[in-house]
């Protein structure tokens, strides 16, 4: 019977018993409980590989974009929300090894954990099969996001869009409150934004990304979105 791990490994072109793949799917909460290495170092490398692969795709396929527009496209693709969506398409949440507390809270589906896991499996692929294989995988996983971003590279970020909307309705400046949970090296940030009677929340791996996700939720939730 084919397991979820077998399916993920096949999509990556890796052996399901690969120690690097297993490490890439090991969150720090599981690592602490079982005295094994987490995916944090792989995530660090994978972040750079994904960034380079997407920059390569933008420069190669969209020669009409200048440096500024290309940077905007990349920022809309290489971010927590987009990487988490890619991880869900790969069904990484089903095979991500997390600690008991995180599992109890369904934490394996958190965008921050999924985005980290995506970057970590990219790094595992880089080590096992080389940069070209990792690049092709990233391109396949995120090509649709790049296409959508390239169609409108000048779109403003969610916080700016929400602020402009609020100002146009004379609601004042959106107010953000941010808290963090977990150790400093692997904290999850939670943001709440209030504008008029509208309240929305978001989470992320940084204060900035959490605020951006809250702004996005607020924008999608207002009456004339």
Beta bridge partners of 201: 192
Q: How far is CA 170 from CA 78, 159, 196, 212, 218, in A?
A: 33, 16, 9, 21, 16
Question: Which of 43, 80, 116, 119 is flagged as catalytic?
Answer: 119
Of 78, 105, 108, which is closest to residue 91 (Cα–Cα)?
A: 108
Q: How far is CA 82 from the centre of its chain?
A: 5
DSSP codes joined into one string, 185-196:
GG-EEEEEEEET
Does the annotation mark 37 as catalytic? no
What SS3 class is residue 177?
strand
Question: Which of 47, 80, 116, 145 is flagged as catalytic?
Answer: 47
Does the annotation mark 132 as catalytic? no
Please give the helix or strand (H or E) that residue 163 lies within, else none: helix 158-168
In whole angstroms, what is the distance from residue 71 CA to residue 29 CA?
34
Tokens (6 digits) for 81:
């929300």
Q: Which residues are catalytic?
A: 47, 119
């Amino acid at each position: 019977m084919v397991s979820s791990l077998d399916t993920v490994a096949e999509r990556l072109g890796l052996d399901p018993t690969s120690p690097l793949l297993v490490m890439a799917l090991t969150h720090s909460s599981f690592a602490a409980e079982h005295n094994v290495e987490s995916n944090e170092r792989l995530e660090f490398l994978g972040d750079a590989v994904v960034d380079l692969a997407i920059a390569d795709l933008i420069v190669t396929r969209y020669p009409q974009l200048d440096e500024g527009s290309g940077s905007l496209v990349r920022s809309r693709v290489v971010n927590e929300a987009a990487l988490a969506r890619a991880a869900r398409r790969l069904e990484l949440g089903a095979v991500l090894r997390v600690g008991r507390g995180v599992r109890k809270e369904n934490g394996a589906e958190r965008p921050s954990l999924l985005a980290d896991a995506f970057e970590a499996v990219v790094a595992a692929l880089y080590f096992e099969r080389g940069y070209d294989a990792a690049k092709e995988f990233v391109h396949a996983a995120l090509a649709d996001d790049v296409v959508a971003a390239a169609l409108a590279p000048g779109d403003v970020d969610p916080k700016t869009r929400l602020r402009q909307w609020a100002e146009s309705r004379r609601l004042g400046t959106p107010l953000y409150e941010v808290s963090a949970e977990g150790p400093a090296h692997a904290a999850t940030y939670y943001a709440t934004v209030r504008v008029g009677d509208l309240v929305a929340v978001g989470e992320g791996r940084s204060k900035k990304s959490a605020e951006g996700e809250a702004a996005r939720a607020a924008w999608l939730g207002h009456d004339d979105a």
